[in-house]
Structure 1
Amino acid sequence: MPLYEAFILDLTKGRKRIIDFSHIGRVLILFGLILAAIGFILLLAGKVPWLGRLPGDFYFRGKQITFFFPLTTSLLISLILTLILWLISRR
């Protein structure tokens, strides 16, 4: 019997069930890879000088408040991610 299977007692019926933990492990690895990719992208985002300063990114500075809404940057990132996910799903 593989090591990733565990026996637990089913309290409602008094018999043992087998739970397969390999799927949970795969999901945790996938979440870890996604988190690492997001971290890598955030590291590189600081090195792109025009990111957040595109025409259409709203910036308002008042006496006591500053408001910044990167509309064009958000649309550009959304378009790029949509294209990437579309290309991946075509397989």
Structure 2
Amino acid sequence: MIRWVVVIFVFLTVFNALLPWIFAKIGVGRLYCDFRVRLSGRELILPFGSTVLWSAVAFLIAEVVKRVL
């Protein structure tokens, strides 16, 4: 489980750096534990809270799929 949390965190961080406007539209980066850091004029978002939320959703989907199959 912790491995998937790390994978999802890395994916969200990289994807956030590439396409920040998509994340703004779906709400990633605006939860309580999401940190915004401004470095050299660029804004870096560390989505800790969003990562926990998305990993919980992925876990629930995996559990449903496992029970169905």
TM-score (norm 1): 0.42
Alpha-carbon RMSD: 2.3
Q: Identify the structure with the greater helix proportion.
A: 2
CA distance in 1, matches of 2:59, 2:67: 12
Larger RCO (CA within 8 A; separation ≥ 6) = 2
Q: Secondary structure at the match of 1:47?
A: helix
1:58 to 2:5 alignment:
no
Which of 40, 54, 62 is 1:77 aligned to? 54
Structure 2 residue runs of 5 or longer lacking an equivalent are 1-21
- Report the identity percentage: 28
Deviation per residue, 1:28-75 (Å, 9 max, x gap): xxxxxxxxxxxxxxxx86632x2221110011114x264321000111
Q: Which runs of 4+ in 1 moved over 6 A?
A: none
Q: Secondary structure at the match of 1:60?
A: strand
Say if 1:47 and 1:58 are closer, same or farther in 2 by CA, change over 3 A. closer
Aligned residues: 46
